[in-house]
Amino acid sequence: EESLQMWDLNKRLEAYLARVKFLEEENEVLRAEIQSAKSSPAGDSWRAKYEEELRALRDALDHAFREKCTAELARDNLYEEVQQVKSRCQKEQAAREEAKKLLSLSKKELEEERRAQIWLKERSVQLEKEVEALLEVHEEEKAGLEQEISSFSQSLESFRCAPVAFQPVEVEDYSKRLSEIWKGAVETYKTEVSQLEGSLCQAKENLWKAVEDNQQSQLRLQHLEKDLEGLKVRKEMLEENLARQWQEQRGEAEKFQLAMEALEQEKQTLRVQIAQVLEDRQQLMHLKMSLSLEVATYR
């Protein structure tokens, strides 16, 4: 029984010695790697490199945060500018509506002026016809009076017994009165015609003014439409720039988030590896102590 125990103990001791030899060789290899890493030209360990990379990533994260703040400020400025453009568009829309109202009023005034012009033309034609008719009546009356005067003078010549002092005074007075009445009527019609011509000229001037105002309103409306189109294009460009900057910012934030997650994962992996190495060393120490006890017991 003792010989069997000694044989089992020899087998265990042999296995322990092989395990210790293997672990010592691995420890020597690790020590050599650590020494070579310490004596390398870089002069920094993996922890220093990791801290350096982590510091660089933190700086990049701070830079991205500053860029994010700058982009948000630019976005706010663009939003304010868009609001200003919207208010300006509303003002120009109101001005456009006002211009349309003025244009409609100008069109109404133009139609009224045209109607007034047509009425004045018709009135002038009617007055010309009346003047021509009065002239014809006057000529007829004048011819009739001349004929009556000539017949009356012939009848006077036939009466030789008439006194010498008799003259056709009443006929001449009547002719003078008719001439004065006719001259007054002609002057009255001339005054009315001149007034109608003045009204016609005034209506033409008002018509030209209405046409010019209409043209100016159309030009202003065209300028306002061009400004509105330009503002719409600028608004679309600003919205596209804002959306593009927002997408770029989101993409950079996602990249940095992925990088941080990768670094955190690598950090956790390194912690696990360090814990595993420490645990292996602890087990090695325990194994070495137990081996020493076994050796002492064997001895």
Q: Which two tokens stand for residue 146?
A: 């001349």
Any domain includes 166: no
DSSP 131-186: HHHHHHHHHHHHHHHHHHHHHHHHHHHH-TTS-TT---HHHHHHHHHHHHHHHHHH
The arithmetic mean of pLDDT across residues 177-201, rounded, is 74
Cβ(118)–Cβ(190) below 8 Å: no
pLDDT value, residue 152: 62
Instruction: Look up the pTM and report it.
Output: 0.35
pLDDT band at 46 (very low <50, low <70, confident <90, very high): low
Q: How would you classify residue 242: left for phi > 0, otherwise alpha for psi between -120 and 50, otherwise beta?
A: alpha
Any domain includes 105: yes
Residue 22 has pLDDT above 70, yes or no: yes
Residue 176 has pLDDT above 80, yes or no: no
pLDDT value, residue 35: 80
pLDDT band at 156 (very low <50, low <70, confident <90, very high): low
Tell me how far apart the alpha carbons of residues 70 and 75 are, in angstroms, rounded to a whole number: 8
Identify the domain containing residue 33 by its residue range.
9-38+46-154+178-298
pLDDT band at 164 (very low <50, low <70, confident <90, very high): very low
Residue 217 burial (CB count, 10 A)? 20
Give the tens place of pLDDT for each residue, 198-242. 777 777 787 787 778 778 877 888 888 888 888 888 888 888 888
Any domain includes 294: yes
The arithmetic mean of pLDDT across residues 59-83, rounded, is 84
Rounded to whole angstroms, what are the CA distances from 251 to 5, 239, 248, 254? 70, 18, 5, 5
The arithmetic mean of pLDDT across residues 139-145, rounded, is 75
Residue 160 has pLDDT above 50, yes or no: no
Give the tens place of pLDDT for each residue, 99-121. 788 888 878 888 887 887 788 77
The overall average pLDDT reported for the chain is: 78
pLDDT band at 262 (very low <50, low <70, confident <90, very high): confident
Any domain includes 202: yes
Any domain includes 143: yes
Highest mean pLDDT among 29-43, 110-124, 188-202: 110-124
The arithmetic mean of pLDDT across residues 234-251, rounded, is 83
Any domain includes 114: yes
Any domain includes 107: yes
Amino acid (1-letter code) at residue 218: Q
DSSP 46-58: HHHHHHHHHHHHH
Tell me how far apart the alpha carbons of residues 53 and 46 are, in angstroms, rounded to a whole number: 10
Who contacts 241 (Cβ-Cβ below 8 Å, separation ≥6)?
A: 78
Residue 161 has pLDDT above 60, yes or no: no
Any domain includes 204: yes
Rounded to whole angstroms, what are the CA distances from 212 to 7, 87, 203, 204, 222? 127, 30, 14, 12, 15
Highest mean pLDDT among 46-60, 95-109, 168-182: 95-109
The arithmetic mean of pLDDT across residues 1-6, rounded, is 86
Total domains in the chain come to: 1
pLDDT value, residue 172: 65
